[in-house]
Amino acid sequence: MSDFGSDVTVYRIDGHEPSEEDVRRIRTAARSLQFAAVDRIGPYDEFDLRFGGACSERGVEGVAVFLSAYFVGDDEGNDGLDPEVIIAREAPVAAQFAEDLQRLLGNEFEVVSYTGDH
């Protein structure tokens, strides 16, 4: 597990556990946001999308879309930047990713972004 990074979590609005079809839909939508810009660098191209399970504080099951992961002291992986600088730079991009993913998935889902310590 990383020390800090960004992710978004997707929950069904009805509180049910996501079905296999929901998971496929979420994965497809998230991947479609990456490398969508032809002949130019897009805002999400540097994210390393990985998927996993999630559980809210209320016990609701969801799908985690991990966007980035960093380790404190890994100057090479962090380009020598302080974790606070990385978090400040990445938080608005992760929030925009969540908004774009929400738009693609529609009202059946809630998408929540998080950037900070893991």
Q: How far apart are alpha carbons 43 and 67 in whole angstroms?
A: 12
Q: How far apart are alpha carbons 47 and 18 in whole angstroms?
A: 23
CATH architecture of the domain formed by 4-117: 2-Layer Sandwich (3.30)
What is the structure's pLDDT at 23?
Answer: 98
Provide the sign of the torsion angle of the four alpha carbons 89, 94, 99, 104, taken in this order.
positive
Q: How far apart are alpha carbons 65 and 95 in whole angstroms?
A: 13
Q: How far apart are alpha carbons 54 and 64 in whole angstroms?
A: 5
What is the structure's pLDDT at 34?
Answer: 86
Q: Taking all residues of the chain, what is their mean pLDDT, rounded to a whole number?
A: 89
pLDDT band at residue 57 under the 50/70/90 scheme: confident
**6 vs 37, residue with greater confidence:** 6
82 pLDDT higher than 90: no
Q: What is the pTM of this model?
A: 0.88
